[in-house]
Chain A
Amino acid sequence: MFEFLRTRLQQGKRTSPFPHGSAEFPARFRGLPVLDVGHCAEQQEIPSAVVTGARGERRAIDLGACLFSPEEAVCTPAGELSYTRDHRMATSSREGLVSASGEVALAQALNARMLSMFGRSLRLRSVVAGSCGGCEAELVALGNVVFDLARFGVQFVASPRHADGLVVTGAVSRNMRVALGKTYDAMPAPRIVIAVGACAITGGPFRGSEAVGDGLSVEWPVDLYVPGCPPHPLTMLDGLLRLLNRLPPERQPVAPAPSELPGPEALAQGYP
């Protein structure tokens, strides 16, 4: 017993200060990407899934397609794409993820009726449908003592019939299509759907493969899009709390710091 108490004391209290305190990220953390139009010194024709639109057209960043790799931060004909350390990027609509320079339309609260039902208690059912396992690992991390999802009244449940919302990860593989549809149908209305990760939004790194679809929104209505590969647990938490209108009002907004990218020598080596 004494050993338990001593270990408990040594471990201390570890819950993240978020959402009341600030969220800290290391210098290299790649959060919200931004496009600096016209800033790029040498303009290379580098194809990027993130920056859409051909030369001469109006360019846009699609956060739903971003895999947050260092290589995606490049000079494109549209300008220079870089990352910030801003973890907030979940949106309520697919269009909200697409913008001219990276200012996303952050998720809106559910309507009053839904809020009165789910605002203080939301039960979620997870369906994994053609993922790499990375997004689920972060969903599981949401339950640890640091992020402690349960303190907001959000809980994962075992049965779709007990769930208010569906969290989908993965690129909707052919072999999970039926199970995903059945799970959705088994949930009582009203229900919400949350797409977590690049795979669930656009197919992610597997986009174009015959074995998967192009993400969830093609067939199912989605209420919350959480971009990332995988999204940081705080990105998920931020999105959920926005949806539930549980985020404290923001203090003076500070411009997020840019994330530190690899040295040019390392990036320049490229691929064979």
Chain B
Amino acid sequence: MESIEAYRETVVNAVAGGQRLVALFGTPEDADRTRLLAILANDERGELGATSTFVRDRYPSLTPECPAAHSFEREIAEQCAILPEGHPWMKPLRRHLPDHRASGRCEVVLDPDVYEFFRVEGEEVHEVAVGPVHASVIEPGHFRFQVHGEQVLFLEIMLGYQHRGVEHLLETVNPARAMLVAESIAGDTVIGHAGAHCGAIEALARSRKTPHAQGIRGIALELERMANHVGDLGALSGDVAFQPAAAFFGRMRGECLNLLMTLSGNRYGRGLVRPGGVLFDLPLTMRSEMRGRLERLRDELEPVAALLFDNASVQARLEGVGTVSRAQCVEFGFVGPVARACEVARDVRQDHPYGIFRFAHIPVTTAWAGDVHARTLVRWHEVRRSLAFALEQLAALPAGAPRVSCGALRPNELVVSMEEGWRGEVAHVVITDDRGEIRRHKVIDPSFHNWSAVSLALPGNQISDFPLCNKSFNLSYAGHDL
């Protein structure tokens, strides 16, 4: 426990010194005090640190000195009704009433129904508003562009349409149902979120899964990554009107999902990952069947990727569009392929290895340009490496029980559990009370870190490049909105 001044200094100095903000959130302590908690990662040394302080209704904002705190502090204002004074952009984040407010307080800091957009004035400036109902089958979000001619000057993104009250549910429903809620945080990151959720529960219960179960979870996580990356390679091809690759990749995404269905009975891997291991085993016959299908998939993927990456007119459409700089990435704390595409080699599997990744390493893929092309390239190479990893694991899965028991949770503990989902770092922070019940369950989807990257990448681009740009990030609305 630190004073607010010491807390601010710890966080600001740590981030200035190269550490990364994993989480920053509030949890009600008593009738009028709220505990603010910061989780910091030193990726180079593979270490995590935590610091906390008590506040009442306001405190001096960290954001002016530490931009990575921007969305976290808006979240604190909204969830806990605490004002970070001096925050430069104090607007609702998800637009809901406080659901983590100290019990004796009743104020609201941010009215969920009041949201003012930033406007650029000038004779030839016009505004374009898109969403929440989009032209195709996409999750809801509102994009407000300030445009000069064709050129985007500013993009503001208003989210919250998918807000379902996930954290509150995770803290109140029974553990079996909480597992199903965790699988529904982001429907394309079922394994990632279920893995992070179970990691936290297992740590609190001191349960150790077998290497066998770790291997199966690793295979499922990489299949999930492949499915999403391959699907997006197809969607990006479609956005630049390169139809053959769009159709082929679209079909092969389905094959990755079907592999997950063979394993778990569901195309997105629901029902597989559970506290203590996995529900479904991977018998020998299934392993060899999956190996055969993966080898065939690899042989079919390679020529299609070659079509895409050897085509000069496709390359020209992807290069130099939607650039995120390395400096922006470090300053705002972006994660996953977005970070790796601007030469920031962040990857939980490498930096904070867990489960199977302590024994089997997947080389980290990076590119340097930070544009749509770099993100596309990074994702293609990740597909190849995940596929090779899955093949290897299927051949060398250690024997053991799929699931071990997971006893009662330890009281008064805090656990940080992280997974490298396909979009980047999925983090769950769980705090128990003195009876071992879950008191706070904080979920941070990688999209939470990365949505600002979309706003930063757009200015200077043509507005018509927005769909392409957006797809190269393909962030989750549900994961952000919770």
What is the chain B residue whose CB lies nearest that of A159?
B135
Q: Are A30 and B277 in contact (CB under 8 A)?
A: no
Q: Are B304 and A7 in contact (CB under 8 A)?
A: yes
**A156 touches which one: B137, B264, B268, B403 (CB < 8 A)?**
B137
Contacts of A135 in B (CB 8 A): 187
Bound-complex Cα distance A258 to B279 (A): 18
0/1 per residue, A241-272, Cβ < 8 Å to B?
00000000000000000011011011101111
A179 CB, min distance to chain B CBs, angstroms:
5
Bound-complex Cα distance A130 to B253 (A): 25
Q: Are B306 and A3 in contact (CB under 8 A)?
A: yes
0/1 per residue, B433-470, Cβ < 8 Å to A?
00000000000000000000000000000000000000
**B164 touches which one: A29, A130, A136 (CB < 8 A)?**
A130
Contacts of B340 in A (CB 8 A): none
In the complex, whether B334 has a CB less than 8 A from a CB of chain A is no
Q: Are B281 and A266 in contact (CB under 8 A)?
A: yes
0/1 per residue, A48-69, Cβ < 8 Å to B?
0000000000000000000111
Bound-complex Cα distance A178 to B94 (A): 16
Stretch from A33-41, A88-96, A115-123, A209-217 forming part of the interface with B: A209-217
Contacts of B99 in A (CB 8 A): 210
What is the chain A residue whose CB lies nearest that of B264?
A28
Most-contacted residue by chain A among B179, B185, B186, B251 (CB, 10 A): B251
Bound-complex Cα distance A70 to B266 (A): 10
In the complex, whether B420 has a CB less than 8 A from a CB of chain A is no
Bound-complex Cα distance A57 to B162 (A): 37
What is the chain A residue whose CB lies nearest that of B201?
A272
Bound-complex Cα distance A7 to B402 (A): 40
Contacts of A227 in B (CB 8 A): none
Contacts of A263 in B (CB 8 A): 281, 402
- Interface residue SS majority, chain B: loop
A-facing residues in B161-219 (Cβ within 8 Å): 161-166, 168-169, 173-177, 179-181, 183-188, 190, 201, 204-205, 207
**B162 touches which one: A3, A130, A205, A209 (CB < 8 A)?**
A130
B-facing residues in A91-126 (Cβ within 8 Å): 125-126
A174 CB, min distance to chain B CBs, angstroms:
7
Given A266-B281, A269-B404, residue A136 in contact with residue B133 (CB < 8 A): no
In the complex, whether B401 has a CB less than 8 A from a CB of chain A is yes
Stretch from B26-34, B242-250, B342-350, B358-366 forming part of the interface with A: B242-250
Contact residues of B with A, CB < 8 Å? Answer: 94-96, 99, 132-133, 135-140, 160-166, 168-169, 173-177, 179-181, 183-188, 190, 201, 204-205, 207, 244, 247-248, 250-251, 253-254, 257-258, 261-268, 270-271, 274-281, 300, 303-304, 306-307, 310, 401-409, 476-479
Known: A70-B280, A131-B162. 4 other contacts (CB 8 A): A4-B244, A11-B304, A144-B251, A266-B402
> What 5 pairs between A and B have smallest CB-CB spacing?
A134-B187, A28-B265, A211-B165, A271-B175, A158-B135
